[in-house]
Amino acid sequence: MLMKNENKEKSYFKLGLFILIGLILIVSGLIIFGAGKIFERTVNVETYFDESIQGITKGSPVKYRGMRIGYVKEIAFASEVYKDLNNKDINEIEIAENYIYVKIAIISPFFTQMTERELHSMLERRVSEGLRIKLTMQGLTGVAYLELNVVDPQRNIPLKITWQPKNFYIPSTPSMFKELTENMQNFFNEFKAINFQQLLNNISIFIESAQHVAKKTNILLNKSDHLIVEIDRTVSHINVPLEMMLQNLQITSDNLRSFSEQIKRSPSQLLRSSSPPPLDPGQL
């Protein structure tokens, strides 16, 4: 009986020792492999989206021009994070309820080695130059990540916010999917606004006008052809050489000029056949 109790106590001891060693190994592994994560410095940045962020979860990568610089730390409604908006204007509350709040942890040494003042100054300058966060799809798998990049600040206006962000704030810009959806929606709205009945009527009127113009043009061309034939026929009946016609015209012109000068010198010739006799001073 005594030996059974001793064996039982030894079994408990071995079991307890095994559990203790396992706990020590687990804690040591967490310290070894997780110490860097625990003690590494991170820079918290927040942004807001006015669209679906399907595919983004906690831990999703955050990249800058393709290079990973951090991960998504928290996702919530903006109204949940900024609860003090309940005492503000209803429009401000609606804005916060429509926005998705995303908190980002940046671990890149490029950002973490800066002082808070240097980082704040750099981010303000880069945001004014067009630094934005965009939801980007990775292929056709549905996996998404957040991409930081510099875009045209005039075409990518930041979302309107009515509260003071708790962390560094980088505005978002619409994803390619949202831009495509909005463009397609605008296209269909404009397509629906087209008055096809009026368009068909205008096309019919244009066709009738074109047919009328074509008919008139054919008539005019036929008349022109007839006129050309008549001119050719008339010219062919004239046997006088062209040089002789020009010579006769020149003679006629000279005669008219001579006659005009003679009338200027003696206008009475228009009433008499000859010039009047000269006056005799003795008969006056």
Q: Which residues on adjacent β-strands are paired with residue 100?
A: 49, 77
Give the confidence band of 284 by pLDDT, cuts at 50, 70, 90. Answer: very low
Residues 40-70: pLDDT tens digits?
678 899 999 988 888 889 999 999 988 899 9
Tokens of 226: 């007839």
22: left (phi over 0), alpha (psi -120 to 50) or beta: alpha
Residues 200-212: pLDDT tens digits?
777 878 888 888 7
pTM: 0.53
Q: What is the per-residue pLDDT for 185?
A: 61
Cα angle 91-97-99, degrees, rounded to a multiple of 5: 105
Residues 83-120: pLDDT tens digits?
775 555 556 666 667 899 999 999 988 888 888 888 88
